[in-house]
Amino acid sequence: MSRLRFLLAAVPFALATTCTPAVQRPRAGAAASAPLPSWNDGAAKAAIERFVANVTTLGGPGYVPAAERIAVFDDDGTLWAEQPVTFQLQFAVDRVRALAPRHPEWRKQEPFDRLLADSTKSFLASGGPAVAAAVAAHAGTTTDSFAVVVRDWLRTARDAKTGRPYSDLVYIPMLELLDYLRASGFKTYIISGDGVEFVRSLADSVCGIPPEQVIGSQGKLRFESRDGKPALVKLPEVQLLDDGPGKPAAIQALIGRRPLAAFGNSDGDRELLEWTWAGTGARLALLVHHTDAAREWAYDRDSPIGRLDKALDEASRAGWTVVDMKQDWKQVFPVR
Amino acid sequence: MSRLRFLLAAVPFALATTCTPAVQRPRAGAAASAPLPSWNDGAAKAAIERFVANVTTLGGPGYVPAAERIAVFDDDGTLWAEQPVTFQLQFAVDRVRALAPRHPEWRKQEPFDRLLADSTKSFLASGGPAVAAAVAAHAGTTTDSFAVVVRDWLRTARDAKTGRPYSDLVYIPMLELLDYLRASGFKTYIISGDGVEFVRSLADSVCGIPPEQVIGSQGKLRFESRDGKPALVKLPEVQLLDDGPGKPAAIQALIGRRPLAAFGNSDGDRELLEWTWAGTGARLALLVHHTDAAREWAYDRDSPIGRLDKALDEASRAGWTVVDMKQDWKQVFPVR
């Protein structure tokens, strides 16, 4: 992921549940007899199945009790698409536009002025200031109100290229992988650089991951009384950035167990995979490599979003599993 | 809890599991037919049973699906004793003494000098400096090494008054309450002002609460390479203070659901109970009032540790449940 996305995590996002219809899966119900139906036979699929067999075979050398089976997933570019900009970044752009009428001062204020002059690209290119602007735009909102905003956006927003809701840009093979791990006794977590409350909205409805198993960046919250009732109000300050080396630290602080399996797609997931891989016993460290320009996007070492460079080299040295999306996946997105 | 304990949460504590034997419970196995056997019949027990029946009765007006049944417990003074000092504070004192031989400079350095001159009381009275000292004492230690230190301390340390291990100072009625809620489909969490990794050590072995359901204060961690392996190293800085208004904020950030039930014993739990109580539908907000000088300690409005003053007034105004330890509990501690 880009530095921009990393920083944007500062936007304090509220809990929300989407109302998107359930994603259409190919060969639903086949998971029990043949897991991972959208995966072609190959090294990646074999590595996943070998790992699962290893930790779940009672009496085997790699057996791990179910309570200790933790699997952690990055989100953008690992569970769902992140090009040309991440969902959260697009949400921030849309929100600044929506709130602009209430803030006439933004027309003369960097970097809002760029965005409001219809130069989204220039706004995003401003990096830190764009982030600060997006954060500032929601300061003072209660978490309950913000939840409604996120839910409404997810229900109505459409990806510019495909015209589909963002919940349709999820990777079917990764949903199958989540199902397969859960059916094998794993507790599945999302470990995201995005704001935790934004991610929860998709995690629960699309990926079957409950709010308490989503770890993300956190904005500071202030507890106060509003209309005689306690409220949590978003502040324009960062509490925790959950990216890069922050991912293992957040796992230690919030889960307290080292994961057995970690899934990512960029240099921002490198330390997450290193930490997981360095544990004793059977481990799985897997990178999704975006190689499919026809069905999705092809990018790695030079991409401003989802850069995969050092982690790709390390995968090769360490023996991590690398998924070649073009070769390994029969299908990428759900069919409607 | 005292301000001191609050601040001491800065000590970054590592994950550990204790080796203490299982706590001896009265009338084990009776929970299914008659929950809460160590509770006398009275308003507190009735309020708990009424609340549980309310949220678990399918088709009833208060029914809540199991996935949303979250119950949160403060630890010191709510699940286990906190007098004359909290376990974590005693641990800090013991550790500074144990590490002193490696730090000859401490003999002339405030506030270590007070402690090493055998004036624990004076050391603790120094407040902030005592905390800073305790934090500094463990900076640079890896979380893995620290886990061993905590585990060893819990195995060997004894409460000065009773001579019993700290795991014996847990409240039997509260363990029954945890069991009862879990049997009723609740997910039970600890929400502690103490360092999260210290609390986990007791939470798992004594209270049946897994590491990922312990929320506590967090010290900052640095991800680095040690002997060619990734390590998380404790820094002498605070990441998150989970006390007072920080408790609801931490729940929102880490669980993402408002609890149905909250249990505390001091003014540090006031906002936690307010936040829980303000939700829609059936709620339970309960304070443990330490009224039993014979079997435990009697303290409330004037205690430096576990002060219960404003929250006690609010309980009376709002209609929260207050447990009178002397009247409501047949038994306090486990019998060996």
- Cβ-contact B143, A253 below 8 angstroms: no
Q: Is the pLDDT of residue B5 over 70?
A: no
Under DSSP, the state recorded for B26 is T
Q: Is the pLDDT of residue B12 over 60?
A: no
DSSP collapsed to 3 states, B227-274: CCEEEEEEEEEEEECCCCCHHHHHHHHHCCCCCCEEEECCHHHHHHHH
B93: helix, coil or strand? Answer: helix
For residue A143, give both structure tokens.
Answer: 């978490």
The model's pLDDT over B253-264, given as tens digits with 9 standing for 90+, comes to 999 999 999 999
Return the half-sphere exposure (C-beta side, CA atoms, 13 A cut-off) of residue A55. 25
CA gyration radius, chain A = 20
The model's pLDDT over A269-323, given as tens digits with 9 standing for 90+, comes to 999 999 999 999 999 999 999 999 999 999 999 998 899 999 999 999 999 999 9
* Arithmetic mean of pLDDT, A4-33: 39
Interface contact flag, A256 B211, Cβ < 8 Å = yes
Residues 6+ apart with CB under 8 A from A216: A9, A190, A191, A192, A193, A194, A195, A196, A197, A198, A199, A200, A242
d(CA B266, CA B2): 9
- Cβ-contact B192, A252 below 8 angstroms: no
The DSSP-derived string for B99-135 is: HGGG-GGGGGSTTHHHHHTT-HHHHHHT-HHHHHHHH
pTM confidence score: 0.89
- Cβ-contact B188, B181 below 8 angstroms: yes
More confident: A6 or B72: B72
- Cβ-contact A315, A287 below 8 angstroms: yes
Q: Is the pLDDT of residue A3 over 50?
A: no
Q: Measured between CB atoms, which of B222, B248, B256 is closest to A197?
A: B256
Q: What's the confidence (pLDDT) of residue A92? A: 84
A173: helix, coil or strand? Answer: helix
**Of A232, A235, A320, which to mutate for an interface test with B (greatest number of B Cβ within 10 Å)?**
A232
ipTM surpasses 0.95: no
* Arithmetic mean of pLDDT, A59-66: 96
Identify all chain A residues contacting B256, using CB atoms and an 8 Å cutoff: 15, 196-197, 200, 211-212, 214
Classify residue A14 as exposed, middle or buried by CB count within 10 Å of its CB (0-12, 13-18, 19+): buried
Q: Measured between CB atoms, which of B215, B230, B278 is closest to A275?
A: B230
Closest Cα in chain A, distance from residue B143 (Å): 8
The model's pLDDT over B181-193, given as tens digits with 9 standing for 90+, comes to 999 999 999 999 9
pLDDT bin (cut points 50, 70, 90) of residue A125 is low
- Cβ-contact A31, A208 below 8 angstroms: no
| Alpha helices, DSSP H, located in chain A | 3-8, 43-56, 87-99, 112-116, 120-125, 128-138, 143-156, 172-183, 196-207, 246-254, 270-277, 310-318, 325-328
> Among residues of chain B, what percentage have pLDDT more than 90?
64
pLDDT bin (cut points 50, 70, 90) of residue A111 is confident
Interface contact flag, A253 B196, Cβ < 8 Å = yes
- Cβ-contact A134, A11 below 8 angstroms: yes
Largest Cα span, chain A? 68
Q: What's the confidence (pLDDT) of residue B113? A: 78
Nearest-CA neighbor of B314 among B282, B269, B279? B269
The pLDDT mean for chain B works out to 87
Q: What's the confidence (pLDDT) of residue B242? A: 83
Interface contact flag, A187 B212, Cβ < 8 Å = yes
E strand spans, B74-213: 187-195
